Amino acid sequence: MFNAKSNVTGHLFRIHKDMTADGVMLWVGFLNINDDMIAASARLSIVNDRPDGFDIALGTTDPSQGGLGYYAHIVPTSPFPGSDLRGYLKHHDRKLDDVFEVSGAYGINADGTSRLDLTIKAR
């Protein structure tokens, strides 16, 4: 699915907690991978009652389900929220041939909803 020339970008939008079964903070959307669209999702990671970044999964609308096995934990590079986020793509079952950096930006839309803008590139 990924190679050193892969160009991956996309946007995930926050789903209202009343729309999720367990009331968690969930972002869902699609990523464009080499001109193919794939579902992706993210959950806010909390450590010591504070946001610690996002857990992202590809190929699923629920990060806890694993999807296609690709996942990343992205963390803020400066005080959160409002900062860039960085992490590395991994796979549950195998080692990837290349190192892929996952970059994210958390943003607020004009209507008050939030989004994650994601990019995945070989490093």
pLDDT grade for 81, boundaries at 50, 70 and 90: low
In the structure, what pLDDT confidence band is assigned to residue 35 with cuts at 50, 70 and 90?
confident
Task: Give the total number of structural domains in the chain.
Answer: 1
Full-model pTM: 0.86
In the predicted structure, residue 103 carries a pLDDT above the cut 70: yes
52 occurs within a structural domain: yes
Cβ neighbors of 114 (< 8 A, separation 6 or more) are 13, 14, 27, 106, 107, 108
User: Do the domain assignments include residue 63?
Assistant: yes
Torsion (CA) 61, 67, 70, 73 in degrees, nearest 10: 40
| Residue 119, pLDDT score | 96
